[in-house]
Amino acid sequence: MNIETRKIAQILQSKPVMEGAGVLLKRVFGFYEENTFDPFLLLDNFGSDNPKDYIAGFPWHPHRGIETVTYMLDGVVEHGDSMGNSGTISSGDVQWMTAGSGIIHQEMPKPSKGTMRGFQLWSNLPAANKMMKPRYQDVPSSVIPTIQIGDGADAKIIAGELEGTTGPVKEIISDPLFFDITVESGKSVVLPVHDGYTVFAYVYDGDGFFDERQTRNVSSGQLVHLVEGNRVNISAGESKLNCIFISGKLLKEPVAWRGPIVMNTQEELDIAFREYRRGTFIKK
């Protein structure tokens, strides 16, 4: 097998937006980049030490046709849904929710001592699985393995496999990698990836390089999109680098997207919103 290092296609700067009932967050990508990061639709980075920026939360709202992934760095979020599930996720925890045929839920951050920080990623479902039964994978930080990768780097493995260690999130259709990577200043690491899959990394602390020649620095609040190849070079800059590293299998399907619902056609979208208004959205 030929070894080819991925190249930088683009670097995106996250932008402040207001979502939910009044939550200030950084939109990394979403909606207008729906085909660029297939199968991923949206990535948000939330973080503030002021509860006024997040306490209004995300009251009851529907989802269909997607999976939402919430990864907490710091803080606590309470959640509940139309199936009677409820609970909390806190620092280091992950919730991988497959909305499938439809779910109505709420996500409500609680006041935090210090900074509330985390991410939400939306992953599309293929047409054959849009109407699958909803499910949750609630993953506490205690079962998420962290491994050393080379000299001066480590990886928290949420989904996928790296150096013989597999993350606790399993049986996801997009065959994802979801790692939280730390690289010490001046150190480098090489990660294997599937050729032909979407690959990107989002830097949330520090800065670093994702090309072999170290020509383009990527700093906190920026996403780097990497194309063509089966490995990725990551090097920290002058400060320690922290990033989430994500990869997934392309669906190559049409996307019909309105608000929290993502289907393949406009007709399917119209049906979903009509069912939501009529109270027949949740399937038994």
What pLDDT is attached to residue 96?
A: 94
Please identify which residue in the block is written with the tokens 């995300």: 58
DSSP of 244-277: EEEEE-------EEETTEEESSHHHHHHHHHHHH
Residue carrying the six token digits 């980049």: 33
**Nearest one of 96, 93, 81, 103 to 137, comparing CA atoms:** 96
Structure tokens at 109: 């951050």
Q: Report which DSSP code applies to 64.
A: B
Strands (E) across 22-173 are located at 23-30, 40-48, 58-63, 66-74, 76-81, 86-90, 94-98, 103-110, 116-124, 135-139, 146-148, 153-159, 161-162, 165-166
The residues, any chain, with a CB within 8 Å of residue 172's CB and separated by 6 or more, are: 67, 96, 123, 159
State both tokens at 19: 């979502």
pLDDT, tens digit only, all 284 positions of the chain: 678 999 999 999 999 999 998 999 999 999 777 789 999 999 999 999 999 999 999 999 999 999 999 999 999 999 998 888 888 999 999 999 999 999 999 999 998 788 899 999 999 999 999 999 999 889 999 999 999 998 899 999 999 999 999 999 999 999 999 999 999 999 999 999 999 999 999 999 999 999 988 889 999 999 999 999 999 999 999 899 999 999 999 999 999 999 999 999 999 999 999 999 999 999 87
User: Do residues 66 and 110 make contact, with C-beta atoms less than 8 angstroms apart?
Assistant: no
What strands lie across the sheet with 23-30, from one edge to the other? 15-19, 23-30, 40-48, 116-124, 66-74, 94-98, 135-139
pLDDT at 112: 78
CA-CA distance, 86 to 145, in Å (whole number)? Answer: 25
Amino acid, single-letter form, for residue 125: L
CA distance 92 to 196: 30
What's the pLDDT at 283? Answer: 86
> Taking the complete model, does pTM exceed 0.75, yes or no?
yes
Q: What are the residue ranges spanned by the domains of the chain? A: 7-278
- 3-class secondary-structure state, position 45: strand
3-state DSSP assignment of residue 49: coil
Query: Which architecture characterizes domain 7-278 according to CATH?
Result: Sandwich (2.60)
What does the DSSP assignment read for 175-208?
A: --EEEEEEE-TT-EEEEE--TTSEEEEEEEESEE
Q: Are 250 and 39 in contact (CB under 8 A)?
A: yes
- Two structure tokens written together for 68: 């939402």
196-208 residues labelled b (16+ CB within 10 A) or e (exposed): ebbbbbbbbebbb
